[in-house]
Amino acid sequence: MPEDFLIRAALAGLGLTLATGPLGAFVVWRRMAFFGDATAHAAILGVALALATDLPVYAGTLAVALAMGLAVSALAGRGQAADSALGVLAHSALALGLIAVSFLPGVRADLSAYLFGDILAVTGGDLVWIWAGAALVLALIAWRWQALLTATVDEALAQASGIDPRRERLVLTLALALVVAVAVKIVGALLIAAMLIIPAAAARGPSRSPEAMAGFAVLFGALSVLGGLALSLRLDTPAGPSIVATAAAIFALSLLPRRAG
């Protein structure tokens, strides 16, 4: 019988993949990989602010991740290159977060858990937050699915259909902020983008429709979580990186049929 902490870890990871699967598909389609990475880096500033003010860490990371997305959208609207704006804001937020933590005694050791993740330390309360956050992200994406797809394929077509592409970008920004807040304790800020991108990228090969790609991304994410936990247990390796390494192996396998063909 698996230990309770392993069951909680598996449930936490599976809950996360329900959100990262379909959202990761949009990240891949829209080539927003750097955006997800930048939002995750900014979460460290949210962790520092939450620890300094005794607020829940989830609240701090959600607020900063959302502020990051809105700031990038505002800078892009003023003519700044999106990748430049992301680079400036992401590294600035990460640096400020690390500086802020240096002023908090006894917190530095805790920070590594948020950088690299500690899925094996997930509590029952964390599970409630993770599954609630995943359900909210799923509901948000399901509600805007067709509009998001149309805006992703062709913004001019979206406008002609009465869809505001800026609003759909805001929906994705909010969803990404929620995922970062949910995932920061599981796989860590440095690995969140990998869980968004790798399963979705692996899902491209066997998929014949957008819905199928979202579904395969969830499946591959779930296999990554379960396989990574098994690898961590067997080899005594860090759980978060083991999950991402398993996802990378699944991605490598997904390339084989295409190369053979």
Return the minimum-mean-pLDDT range out of 12-16, 73-77, 165-169, 257-261: 257-261
pLDDT of residue 78: 60
In the predicted model, is pLDDT for residue 119 greater than 70? yes
The rounded radius of gyration (Å) of the Cα atoms in the chain is 18
Residue with the larger pLDDT of the pair 194 and 106 = 194
Of all residues in the chain, the percent with pLDDT exceeding 90 is: 34
Residue with the larger pLDDT of the pair 97 and 150 = 150
Residue with the larger pLDDT of the pair 58 and 143 = 143
Residue of 46, 10, 19, 21 lying closest to 183 (CA atoms): 19
For the stretch 191-218, pLDDT in tens is 788 899 999 999 998 889 999 999 999 9
pLDDT of residue 249: 96
In the structure, what pLDDT confidence band is assigned to residue 187 with cuts at 50, 70 and 90?
confident
pLDDT of residue 79: 53
Residue with the larger pLDDT of the pair 70 and 137 = 137
CATH superfamily membership of 4-147+176-256? ABC transporter involved in vitamin B12 uptake, BtuC (1.10.3470.10)
pLDDT of residue 136: 92
For the stretch 24-83, pLDDT in tens is 999 888 877 777 777 777 788 888 888 778 788 788 888 888 887 777 667 655 655 566
Q: Averaged over 152-172, what is the pLDDT? A: 85
**Please, which contacts does 251-256 make with residues 24 or more away whose CB atoms are closer than 8 Å?**
251/198, 251/199, 251/201, 251/202, 253/202, 254/201, 254/202, 254/203, 254/204, 254/205, 254/206, 254/220, 255/205
pTM value?
Answer: 0.87
In the structure, what pLDDT confidence band is assigned to residue 261 with cuts at 50, 70 and 90?
very low
What does the domain layout of the chain look like in residue ranges? Answer: 4-147+176-256
Q: Averaged over 3-23, what is the pLDDT? A: 91
